[in-house]
């Protein structure tokens, strides 16, 4: 097959930060009319490459050519003018303005300084139409859900290049994790738009953590590892197992071990019982028993009450009915302190806002809960503290293994481990993990799951919440299914329990 000339070619890209070589000689090319996935674990250099390409960072070495001409961008707006547009994970639009304005603001059609509103609406509507979308351009952006706002952001970025006249439009569109907050239908709509753009000859660079999505929509992929190029492949030539091996650079022993992992059978006596516990408007009263050494998984859609249930068991929200008994003693649950005193630990899904203190060091973050449990009048002795911290950094393989590193600078997976370490150090009887693997790469995911297994083997009870059903199934002895803020089923895990079965339970809402 004769390959056309690439629209964008990056050769030997080098980017250095003080003490770190973020990119060492990476080659990357992008052809018109293709969707190209950029893959790699967290910290592999994906974001750095994109930022170099869009002019956010300056180059330390290598060349970038666009349509055969060497280019060098010093700001995102320069890259934009050259036809390289970026849509980020966060929607960067103004919710208070209309859709039409959001698409065209900054280049509104004017006449003697007066905005031509009719023309603006017409042009925006044409652009929306051309991309085959059905959006009312007069409605305020905030009246649409996030997914549509994301589409509007794409329309804006596609339209940006049109300023030099029709046809000169965007040639390269970079989509940086656009799907992370979309549901399945919305993802499909986004993909449809991506395919239409592709047919119009736009080259799309797509970054996503979801491998299924890569295989669904991409033609070609480039894999990075530790700032270096691992390979460029056509998607149809490389299966998912091969891809994961390329990404993490080692065989899949770790992961496979987990797949074959048998749930250990020595579940002990009852640890926690919730009896008709509920909170009006948050979650309907539920009964739940968690035994020592048992992993209870919670499955359900986002917003089905998973987190709400967990927060009640931790006293982060106060139940207005029912009672919680832990280890035979009734716990009032009027504040998290009650739960902590009873041996419950809670790792929030929102690790940045509700868990970690990004400006403190790894050491300080880890000892936070232990110190809180002791009270501020009894500081943890320095020697004991350093020993504990060193032990958990090693046990959880936190990288960099530097207790003085600021937590904010760690990758998502390592931040999650720090949060885990904080609670493990207090030796809880029940560990509540709310989405511990969200947004972290596959290697770190496997490590955290392995940790959950070994903790439960040591007799710790775990309440595990995850969006991915396979993950819940793999780890849990019992699976609680939630739907519409109600615990609708409790299933004992076994060979007959499959993701499909759970999905059916979620869909029907019936206990079978």
Partner 1 sequence: MTTTTTREPAAPDSRTPGRAARILADRRLPVLVTAGLFLVMYAVGLSRYQNYGFAETQVFLNLFIDNSYLLVAAVGATFVILSGGIDLSVGSVIGFTTMFTAWLVEKQGLPIVVVIPMALAVGAFGGYLMGYVIQNFEIQPFIVTLAGLFLFRGLCLVISKESISITDSTVSSMAQAQISLGGGFLSVGAVVSLVVLGVAFYVLHHTRFGRRVYAIGGNEQSALLMGLPQGGTKIAVYTVSGFCSALAGLLFALYIQSGDPLHATGLELDAIAAVVIGGTLLTGGSGYVVGTLFGVLVLGLIKSLIQFEGTLSSWWTKIATGVLLCAFILVQRTMTSRRSP
Q: Does 303 bind partner 1 (CB under 8 A)?
A: yes
Binding mask 153-182 for partner 1 (x = CB under 8 A): ---x-------------------------x
C-beta of residue 193 within 8 angstroms of C-beta of residue 132:
yes
User: Of 421 and 473, which CB lies nearer to partner 1 in the complex structure?
Assistant: 473
User: Considering only residues 234, 302, 357, 390, which one is a binding residue for partner 1 as defined by CB under 8 A?
Assistant: 302
| CA distance linking residue 113 with residue 378, whole number of Å | 68
Nearest to 467 by CA among 183, 213, 148: 183
User: Of 128 and 339, which CB lies nearer to partner 1 in the complex structure?
Assistant: 128
For 386-407, the DSSP string reads HHHHHHHHHHHT-SS--TTSBG
Strand residue runs (E) in 292-357: 295-299, 321-326, 329-331, 344-347
User: Of 420 and 473, which CB lies nearer to partner 1 in the complex structure?
Assistant: 473
CB of 149 to partner 1, least distance (A): 9
User: Considering only residues 58, 61, 63, 210, which one is a binding residue for partner 1 as defined by CB under 8 A?
Assistant: 210
C-beta of residue 53 within 8 angstroms of C-beta of residue 174:
yes
> How many chain residues interact with partner 1 (CB under 8 A)?
46
Contacts 24+ apart (CB under 8 A), 318-322: 318/279, 319/277, 319/278, 319/279, 320/278, 320/279, 320/280, 321/276, 321/277, 321/278, 321/279, 321/285, 322/274, 322/275, 322/276, 322/277, 322/278, 322/285
CB of 216 to partner 1, least distance (A): 9
User: Considering only residues 126, 212, 256, 510, which one is a binding residue for partner 1 as defined by CB under 8 A?
Assistant: 212
Q: Does 241 bind partner 1 (CB under 8 A)?
A: no
CB of 467 to partner 1, least distance (A): 5
Q: Does 503 bind partner 1 (CB under 8 A)?
A: yes
User: Of 20 and 188, which CB lies nearer to partner 1 in the complex structure?
Assistant: 188
| CA distance linking residue 479 with residue 472, whole number of Å | 8
Q: Does 118 bind partner 1 (CB under 8 A)?
A: no
DSSP state for residue 353 in the 8-state scheme: I
CB of 67 to partner 1, least distance (A): 22
Q: Does 129 bind partner 1 (CB under 8 A)?
A: no
Note the Cα 17 to chain centre separation in Å: 25
User: Of 242 and 303, which CB lies nearer to partner 1 in the complex structure?
Assistant: 303
Q: Does 114 bind partner 1 (CB under 8 A)?
A: yes
Planar angle of CA 57, 63, 66, nearest 5 degrees = 90
Q: Which stretch binds partner 1 (CB under 8 A): 24-32, 63-71, 284-292, 497-505?
A: 497-505
Phi and psi at residue 70, in whole multiples of 5°?
-65, 135
Q: Does 146 bind partner 1 (CB under 8 A)?
A: yes
Q: Report the site for partner 1 in 332-371 (rule: CB under 8 A).
A: none
Planar angle of CA 82, 87, 93, nearest 5 degrees = 105
User: Of 331 and 440, which CB lies nearer to partner 1 in the complex structure?
Assistant: 440
CB of 479 to partner 1, least distance (A): 13
Binding mask 466-495 for partner 1 (x = CB under 8 A): -xxxx-------------------------
Q: Which stretch binds partner 1 (CB under 8 A): 10-18, 100-108, 170-178, 382-390?
A: 100-108
User: Considering only residues 48, 80, 415, 476, which one is a binding residue for partner 1 as defined by CB under 8 A?
Assistant: 80
User: Of 185 and 269, which CB lies nearer to partner 1 in the complex structure?
Assistant: 185
Q: Does 110 bind partner 1 (CB under 8 A)?
A: yes
Q: Which stretch binds partner 1 (CB under 8 A): 75-83, 162-170, 244-252, 286-294?
A: 75-83
**HSE-CB for 401 with a 13 A CA cutoff:** 8
User: Considering only residues 92, 240, 321, 350, which one is a binding residue for partner 1 as defined by CB under 8 A?
Assistant: 92
| CA distance linking residue 223 with residue 28, whole number of Å | 10
Classify 26 as helix, strand or coil: strand
Helices (H), 28-141: 46-53, 76-81, 99-104, 117-130
Q: Which stretch binds partner 1 (CB under 8 A): 86-94, 332-340, 373-381, 418-426?
A: 86-94
Contacts 24+ apart (CB under 8 A), 68-73: 68/5
Q: Does 458 bind partner 1 (CB under 8 A)?
A: no
Classify 355 as helix, strand or coil: helix
Residue 52 makes CB contacts below 8 A (sequence gap 6+) with: 10, 13, 15, 23, 58, 59, 64
Q: Does 304 bind partner 1 (CB under 8 A)?
A: yes
Name the site residues for partner 1 (rule: CB under 8 A): 76-77, 80, 88, 91-97, 101, 105-106, 108, 110, 113-115, 117, 140, 142-146, 148, 156, 182-186, 210, 212, 301-304, 467-470, 499-500, 503
């Amino acid at each position: 097959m004769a390959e056309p000339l690439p629209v964008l070619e990056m050769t030997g890209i080098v980017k250095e930060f003080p003490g770190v070589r973020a990119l060492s000689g990476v080659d990357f090319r992008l052809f018109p009319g293709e969707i190209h996935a950029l893959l790699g674990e967290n910290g592999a250099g994906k974001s750095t490459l994109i930022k170099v390409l869009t002019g956010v960072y300056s180059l330390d070495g290598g060349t970038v050519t666009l349509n055969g001409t060497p280019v060098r961008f010093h700001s995102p707006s320069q890259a934009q003018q050259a036809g390289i547009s970026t849509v980020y994970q966060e929607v960067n639009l103004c919710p208070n303005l209309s859709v039409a304005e959001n698409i065209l603001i900054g280049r509104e059609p004017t006449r003697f300084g007066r905005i031509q509103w009719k023309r603006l609406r017409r042009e925006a509507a044409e652009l929306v139409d051309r991309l085959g979308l059905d959006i009312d351009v007069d409605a305020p952006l905030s009246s649409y859900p996030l997914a549509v706002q994301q589409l509007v952001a794409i329309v804006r970025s596609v339209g940006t290049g049109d300023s030099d006249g029709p046809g000169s439009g965007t040639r390269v569109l970079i989509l940086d994790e656009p799907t992370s907050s979309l549901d399945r239908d919305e993802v499909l709509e986004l993909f449809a738009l991506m395919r239409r753009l592709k047919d119009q000859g736009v080259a799309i660079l797509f970054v996503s953590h979801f491998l299924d999505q890569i295989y669904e929509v991409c033609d070609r992929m480039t894999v990075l590892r530790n700032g270096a190029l691992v390979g460029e492949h056509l998607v149809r030539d490389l299966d998912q197992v091969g891809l994961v091996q390329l990404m993490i650079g080692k065989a899949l022993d770790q992961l496979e071990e987990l797949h074959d992992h048998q749930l250990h059978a020595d579940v002990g006596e009852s640890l926690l019982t919730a009896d008709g516990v509920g909170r009006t408007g948050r979650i309907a009263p539920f009964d739940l028993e968690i035994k020592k050494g048992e992993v209870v998984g919670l499955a359900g859609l986002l917003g089905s009450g998973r987190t709400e249930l967990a927060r009640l068991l931790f006293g982060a929200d106060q139940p207005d009915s029912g009672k919680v008994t832990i280890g035979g003693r009734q716990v009032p649950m009027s504040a998290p302190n009650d739960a902590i005193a009873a041996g419950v630990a809670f790792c929030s899904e929102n690790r940045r806002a509700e868990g970690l203190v990004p400006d403190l060091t790894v050491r300080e973050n880890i000892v936070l809960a232990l110190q809180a449990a002791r009270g501020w009048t009894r500081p943890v002795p320095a020697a004991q503290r350093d020993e504990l911290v060193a032990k958990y950094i090693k046990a959880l393989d936190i990288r960099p293994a530097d207790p003085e590193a600021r937590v904010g600078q760690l990758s998502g997976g390592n931040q999650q481990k720090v949060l885990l370490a904080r609670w493990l150090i207090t030796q809880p009887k029940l560990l509540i993990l709310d989405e511990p693997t969200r947004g972290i790469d596959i290697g770190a995911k496997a490590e955290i799951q392995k940790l959950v297994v070994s903790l439960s083997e040591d007799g710790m009870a775990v309440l595990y919440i995850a969006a991915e059903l396979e993950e819940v199934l793999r780890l849990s002895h019992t699976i609680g299914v939630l739907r519409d803020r109600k615990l609708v089923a409790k299933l004992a895990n076994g060979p007959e329990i499959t993701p499909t079965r759970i999905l059916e339970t979620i869909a029907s809402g019936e206990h079978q």
